[in-house]
Amino acid sequence: MIIASWNCRGAGSRSFPQKIKDIINKYYANILCIIEPRVSGSRADKVCRTLGFSHWMRVEATGFSRGIWLLWNSDTFDITYLTSSTQLLHCQVKELSCNTTSLLTIVYGETTLVGRSTLWNSLRLLASSSTYPWLVLGDFNTYLSPTDKLGGADTPWASMCHFRECIDDTGLIEARILGEKFTWERRGLKERLDWTFSNFEWIRSFPAFTVLHGLKFKSDHRVVVVNSKPVTPTPRPPRPFFY
């Protein structure tokens, strides 16, 4: 299972399907999470049909903002919708090849301290009923520590405290990452806004899983790639011998 999560900041451009194909080809993702597509309704379904997946589910965008999409192929996964809100999409994922079942929550947090309080309470509620391996990832729009921001105004301490309290209360564990630490960058300001967490059951089921902060693909957010299996280096073909 390879999950790619990307805050694309708009999926309505003509070049968007090609960007998605580039992400799939580079990271071999078979589950795709799109955050902030900024399109909804029939137009959103039309875009989803161009992305190369057989199935999808969506949290509708609000006007010209927000939204969460999840796309997959039914010959590889059986994904069941469980619950959603404007800030998260929660579902059950069954990988057909190995008959494993896990939970996946895609997050797009509000940009305000008050708005995110609903997200924290929702995650606590989900954790209280979670017995399966559980993966939580997405754009939380906040930090865990002052080192998660480089440049700009002072770090909001209250926001970090609420985030940390939620992670502690839910028993989630921050995933170790590969690549650049910061996931968002603009005009010299760097921030880590995209996060990946899991519960102990997920770590026990996928002990060698990896999280990569990849390229930005013309967005100010990097693609986050979760691979449930260990990443093995691709062997280089033998160099031709010239006489």
Q: Do 69 and 58 form a contact (C-beta atoms < 8 A)?
A: yes
Q: How many whole angstroms separate alpha carbon 48 and alpha carbon 26?
A: 19
| pLDDT tens by residue, 42-95 | 898 999 999 989 999 999 887 667 899 999 998 889 999 999 999 999 999 999
Burial classification of residue 217, based on how many CB atoms lie within 10 Å of its CB (0-12 exposed, 13-18 middle, 19 or more buried): middle
Give the chain's domains with CATH numbers: 2-227 (3.60.10.10)
Write out the two tokens for 167: 């992670």
Which residue, 68, 155, 157, 78, is CA-closest to 119?
Answer: 68
Q: How many whole angstroms separate alpha carbon 82 and alpha carbon 73?
A: 18
Write out the two tokens for 232: 């093995």
Q: How many whole angstroms separate alpha carbon 106 and alpha carbon 242?
A: 52
More confident residue, 145 or 235: 145
Q: What angle do CA 152, 156, 162 make, to 5 degrees?
A: 145
| pLDDT tens by residue, 93-115 | 999 888 889 999 999 999 889 98
* pTM (predicted TM-score): 0.90
